[in-house]
Amino acid sequence: MSELDNANPLVFEITKDRQILPEEEDDSVTDKFDRREIFDLIRVINDPEHPLTLEELNVVVESNIKVDDDKNSVYVEFVPTIPHCSMATLIGLSIRVKLLRSLPPRFKVDVKIAPGTHESELAVNKQLADKERVAAALENSHLLELVNQCLSKRATG
Amino acid sequence: MHHSLKEVQQLTGHTDQVWCVAWSPSGSLLASCGGDKTIRIWGKEDKSWVCKSLLTDAHTRTIRALSWSPCGQYLAAASFDATTSIWSRKSGEFECLATLEGHENEVKCVGWACTGNLLATCARDKSVWIWEVTADEEFECASVLSTHTQDVKCVKWHPACELLASCSYDDTIRLYHEASDDWESCAMLKGHSSTVWSVDFNKDGHRIVSAGADASLKIWQDYEPGNPEGIATPDNLPVWKCVCTIGGHHERPIYSVNWCSLSGMIATASGDDSLCVYQEISTEDARNAPKFEIAVRQKAAHLEDINCVSWNPVQKGLLASCSDDGNIKIWQLQKE
C-alpha cells in the first residue's frame, strides 16, 4: 500500500449506545427521525485508510447533522482528518450511500464538507451533490467495492 | 395562477429510476428509459397509455437519454456504458441498427438535428461529438468538440437550422455551428452559478431557456448582426444575451426544462419533486426584457426527484414527466 495521507490520526472516544425508550418500541407511536438516529447510521462507517470508524476519527459528529423529518431533509457535514485528504470524496460518497440505502426514499440527503476543513471543499461538494455522477459511480464496480468496504461491518478481534 | 395540471395517467413498469421521457414527432408514442437499462415505448390503446414495446439488451448500464429522429423512424439512446444505440422501426418493430462508440465514459445526452442528417452526443469525458447520418443508415463521426472544461450534461439542436447548444457541469452553455468545413464553438453563455442541467430552444429558435443546479431559469435572446438595439456582434456572429432570470419556485436543482412549441409555455422538473409551468406575459419591451409568470406549481408531482419533463409536440398541453420513484406521469394542462 502507498503512503497514508495521515499516518497518525487522533483517535476520539465513541458515544455510548442510545437508550431505547419504551415509547420507541410502541408501534402505535409515530417516531420521527432525529439527529441521533442519523448519527448512529453513519458513525460506524469505516474510514477508507485506517482501521477506525468515522466517529473514532471525529470525521462525523452528531452536532454536524441536521434533520427535519417534516420537510424530508437530512443534512450532514463531515470533517476530513486533514485538509488535503484525498479520500474526502469517497468518505462523502460512503455517507451518502449509507443514508440512501437506510432512509425512506422521501428524504433529500445533502452531504457536504464542513466549511473551511478541506482544500477542495467546493469541488468535492459539487461532485457529491451531482446525482447523475453519484448514480454513475455506483454502477462502477471498483468504486462500489470501495464504498461497500467502508460500509461493511468490520470484523472485531 | 390560472392553470392547473390534471394527472391523466401514471405509467408503471420501469424497475429503477426513470431518467428520460421523449415524445415521438407525431406525438403518438412516448419513449422512456432509466436505471433498469431498458427502453419502454408507450402508446395509446382505447383511452389509456400502455407499454407497447420493451427494448432490452442493448446497454450494460443506465440508459440516460433518448431522442427521436424528426421522421420518427429512428430512436437514439445514450448510455452510461459509453455507447449510443440507434433503433429503427422501419420493419414495424424496433431493431437496434447501430451502436456508436467513441466516448471515453458515460454518455449523458443525445440529440437529433432538425434535418435528420446529424446527431450529437455528449459525455462525462467533456466532449460533444457530431455524427453524420449517411444515406445507407451509417453513422460517421464528423467532429469532436472539446470546449467544455467539465462533464457535458445535455445537447439540444436548434429547431430550424444546424446550430447546436450544450450545457455543462462547468456552469456554461456553448453553441456550435459548422464553419468552413469543420464544427466550432461560436458562443459561450455564462450566467448560471452552478451546473447547467438542461437547455431548450423556443419555437423560432431565437431564444434559449436554460436551467440547473442553482434552481433558476435563464432566458437568452439572440442578437444578429445589424440588430436594431445596436449590440455589437464580433466576427459577424449572433450574440446571445440573458434577458430574464426566473428563480424562487424550485427548492432544489432543476434537472429538465422544455419549451412548448405549441403554447410557448415552459415546463421545469426538479429535485424538489415538483413541476412548474411558466408563461410569458406581455410587457413593453418583450424582446429585450421579457417577463414570465408562473402558471402552475405542482408540488409533490412525484414521490421523488423528477428527472425529465416533455411537452407533447402535437397535443397542446399534454405533458409527460418521469422520476426517481420509477414512474412516469402524463398530465394535461388546464385553464382554471
For the stretch B192-247, pLDDT in tens is 999 999 999 999 999 999 999 999 999 999 999 999 999 999 999 999 999 999 99
Average per-residue pLDDT for chain A: 92
pLDDT tens sequence across B253-298: 999 999 999 999 999 999 999 999 999 999 999 999 999 999 999 9
Give the other-Cβ count within 10 Å of B133's Cβ.
21
Eight-state DSSP code of residue A91: H
pLDDT above 80 (res A4): no
Helix, coil or strand: residue B166: strand
Contact B1, B298 (CB under 8 A): no
Interface membership of A25 toward B (CB under 8 Å): no
Interface size A-B, in CB pairs within 8 Å, comes to: 37
- ipTM value, please give it: 0.95
How many CA atoms are closer than 13 Å to the CA of A153, on its beta-carbon side? 4
Give residue limits of the domains in chain A: 30-151
Q: Do B195 and A126 touch (CB under 8 A)?
A: yes
Instruction: Kindly list the distances between the CA atom of residue B77 and the CA atoms of A29, A99, B19, B201, in Å, as whole numbers in the listed order.
Output: 48, 31, 12, 21
Give how many domains chain B has, as a whole number: 1
CA distances from B317 to A39, A55, B250 (A): 46, 52, 21
What average pLDDT does range A32-39 have in this prediction? 94
- Asked if residue A157 has pLDDT above 50, the reply is no
B195–chain A Cβ distance below 8 A for any pair: yes
Q: Which three cell numbers stand for residue B163?
A: 446550430
State the number of CA atoms in the 13 A half-sphere of A124 facing the CB: 27
Least confident of A9-23, A99-113, B6-20: A9-23
Per-residue cell: B313: 409536440
Distance CA B142, CA A125 (A): 36
CATH number where B139 lies:
2.130.10.10
What is the maximal distance between C-alpha atoms in chain B?
56
A69 with A106: CB under 8 angstroms? no
Of all residues in chain B, the percent with pLDDT exceeding 70 is 100
Range B237-248 burial, b when 16+ CB lie within 10 A, else e: ebbbeebbebee
C-alpha torsion sign, points A46, A51, A56, A58:
negative
Considering only CB atoms, A136 lies closest to which of B106, B194, B325, namely B106
pLDDT in tens, A38-74: 999 999 999 999 999 999 999 999 999 999 999 999 9
Rounded CA-CA distance B207/B215 in Å is 19
H or E element, residue A19: none
pLDDT in tens, A73-88: 999 999 999 999 899 9
Find the mean pLDDT for residues B312-328: 98
**pLDDT in the model for residue A1:** 47
What is the residue-averaged pLDDT of chain B? 97
> CB distance B325–A105 less than 8 Å?
yes
CA distance B43 to B49: 5
Which range of residues forms the domain containing residue B71?
3-335
Nearest by CB to A131, from B61, B303, B305: name it.
B305
pLDDT band at B2 (very low <50, low <70, confident <90, very high): confident
The dihedrals phi and psi of B320, each to the nearest 5 degrees, come to: -120, 145
Beta-carbon separation of B80 and A108 below 8 A: no
Whether the CA torsion A124, A129, A132, A136 is positive or negative: it is positive
Rounded to 5°, the CA angle A100-A103-A106 comes to 90
Q: Does B36 touch chain A (CB under 8 A)?
A: no
- Measured between CA atoms, the residue of chain B closest to residue A127 is B169
> Is residue B108 helix, strand or coil?
strand
Please report the pLDDT score of residue A9 as a whole number: 85
**Residues B125, B169 contacting (CB under 8 angstroms):** no
DSSP secondary-structure letter at B138? -
Yes or no, beta carbons of B35 and A130 under 8 Å apart: no
**Distance to chain A for B47, nearest Cα, Å:** 32
Burial zone of B326 (CB within 10 Å; 0-12 exposed, 13-18 middle, 19+ buried): buried
pLDDT tens track for B36-75: 999 999 999 999 999 999 999 999 999 999 999 999 999 9
What residues does A65 pair with on adjacent strands?
A76
Closest residue to B303, CB basis, from A106, A131, A135:
A106
- Please check the confidence at residue B1 and state whether its pLDDT lies above 60: no
Q: Is residue A21 very low, low, confident or very high in pLDDT (cuts 50, 70, 90)?
A: confident
User: Does the pLDDT of residue A156 top 80, yes or no?
Assistant: no
Confidence of residue A2 (pLDDT cuts 50, 70, 90): low
Buried b (16+ CB within 10 A) or exposed e, B195-234: bbbbbbbbeeebbbbbbbbbbbbbbbbbbeeeeeeeeeee
| Choices 2.30.130.10, 3.30.300.130, 2.40.50.100, 3.30.450.40: CATH for A30-151 | 3.30.300.130
CA distance B326 to B11: 9
Which residue in this structure is represented by grid cell 461560436?
B186
Mean pLDDT of B21-47: 97
What's the pLDDT at A146? 96
Torsion sign (Cα): A142, A147, A153, A154: positive
pLDDT of residue B51: 98
